[in-house]
């Protein structure tokens, strides 16, 4: 490997952890505060949590803020325009964890994860595939994401030089087959913006994210909501950066803030050479019921 190759493979990864409110302006102020504190880097990927801009309000609040997907007139797409401006201002690849975007169904929006480049351009989008319809013994009890959200229909992998970024959102992390499909396309970083509950987070958050890193020999960048929100919902925090060996490189704990570290994406290639699990996988290619 040449020195130049290693340089291109070096990325700074950052996750911003929020206790988001129902008011977008408050949340964007917190995001801006964190972006201003982050170390500078030529290649810098910053992840925001799920529902970072609008969260914890009355039923229907997300729908009120849904936007047509894609940059356009400010009055039609204020959340996306604000993200584009922040990506430009701070010279980062800003992955807006999720925000509500319009669908063909007027009663349901899509939970879209959107990647903005340092020039403010929208580079990639992903709509959450797996919707959180569960019963829990926490302060919320019943979660019915499908009542207001329309599930996506595609995988999304963004490639830029050495970066091969797989996009997922929260509940998706429980579906290993989805991550393996992204890994088959070459994914070396998995992004998991989340609003993981305190109850499920304490039981499963670290285990699931470390497993996805180990199984797919990739870095995992996970930004979570934290604390109690305006509607009483409780989220777990502990935003994480994990390496392909499953080691936790950074853990944000339970307070709002940020974590950041520099990684070398060739670590994924090295591990795949010494432990070529993708080549050894007989499940898809050889076995039949």
Identified catalytic residue from 51, 170, 218, 268? 170
- Are 254 and 240 in contact by the 8 Å Cβ rule? The answer is no
Tell me, yes or no, if 8 is annotated catalytic. Answer: no
Tell me, yes or no, if 268 is annotated catalytic. Answer: no
The Cα 110–Cα 99 span in angstroms is: 8
Sheet containing 240-242: order of strands: 157-160, 163-167, 189-191, 219-222, 240-242, 248-251
| Pairing label, strands 248-251, 240-242 | antiparallel
Identified catalytic residue from 34, 83, 128, 164? 128
Tell me, yes or no, if 170 is annotated catalytic. Answer: yes
Write the CB contacts of 281 (distance below 8 Å, at least 6 apart in sequence).
none
- Are 113 and 193 in contact by the 8 Å Cβ rule? The answer is yes
Select from 27, 80, 66 the least CA-distant residue to 229.
27
Identified catalytic residue from 34, 50, 51, 268? 50
- Are 200 and 209 in contact by the 8 Å Cβ rule? The answer is no
Catalytic site positions = 50, 128, 170
């Amino acid at each position: 490997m040449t020195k130049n190759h290693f340089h291109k493979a070096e990325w700074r990864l950052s996750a911003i952890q929020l206790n988001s409110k129902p008011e977008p302006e408050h949340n964007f102020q917190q995001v801006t505060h964190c972006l201003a504190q982050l170390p500078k880097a030529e290649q810098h990927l910053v992840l925001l949590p799920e529902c970072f801009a609008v969260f914890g309000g009355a039923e229907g609040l997300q729908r009120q803020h849904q936007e047509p997907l894609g940059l356009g007139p400010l009055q039609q797409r204020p959340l996306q325009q604000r993200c584009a401006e922040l990506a430009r201002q701070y010279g980062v690849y800003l992955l807006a964890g999720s925000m509500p975007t319009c669908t063909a169904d007027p009663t349901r929006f899509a939970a879209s994860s959107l990647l903005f480049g340092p020039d403010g351009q929208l580079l990639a989008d992903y709509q959450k595939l797996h919707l959180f319809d569960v019963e829990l013994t926490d302060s919320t009890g019943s979660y019915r994401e499908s009542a207001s959200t329309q599930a996506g229909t595609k995988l999304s992998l963004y490639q830029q030089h050495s970066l091969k970024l797989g996009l997922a959102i929260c509940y998706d992390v429980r579906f290993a087959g989805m991550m393996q499909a992204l890994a088959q396309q070459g994914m070396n970083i998995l992004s998991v913006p989340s609003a993981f509950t305190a109850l499920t987070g304490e039981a499963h958050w670290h285990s699931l994210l470390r497993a996805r890193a180990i199984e797919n020999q990739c870095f995992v960048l996970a930004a979570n909501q934290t604390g109690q929100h305006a509607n009483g919902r409780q989220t777990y925090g502990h935003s994480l950066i994990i390496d392909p060996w499953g080691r936790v490189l950074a853990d944000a704990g339970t307070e709002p803030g940020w974590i950041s570290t520099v990684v070398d994406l060739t670590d994924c290639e090295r591990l795949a050479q010494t432990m070529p699990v993708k080549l050894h996988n007989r499940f898809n290619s050889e076995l039949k019921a």
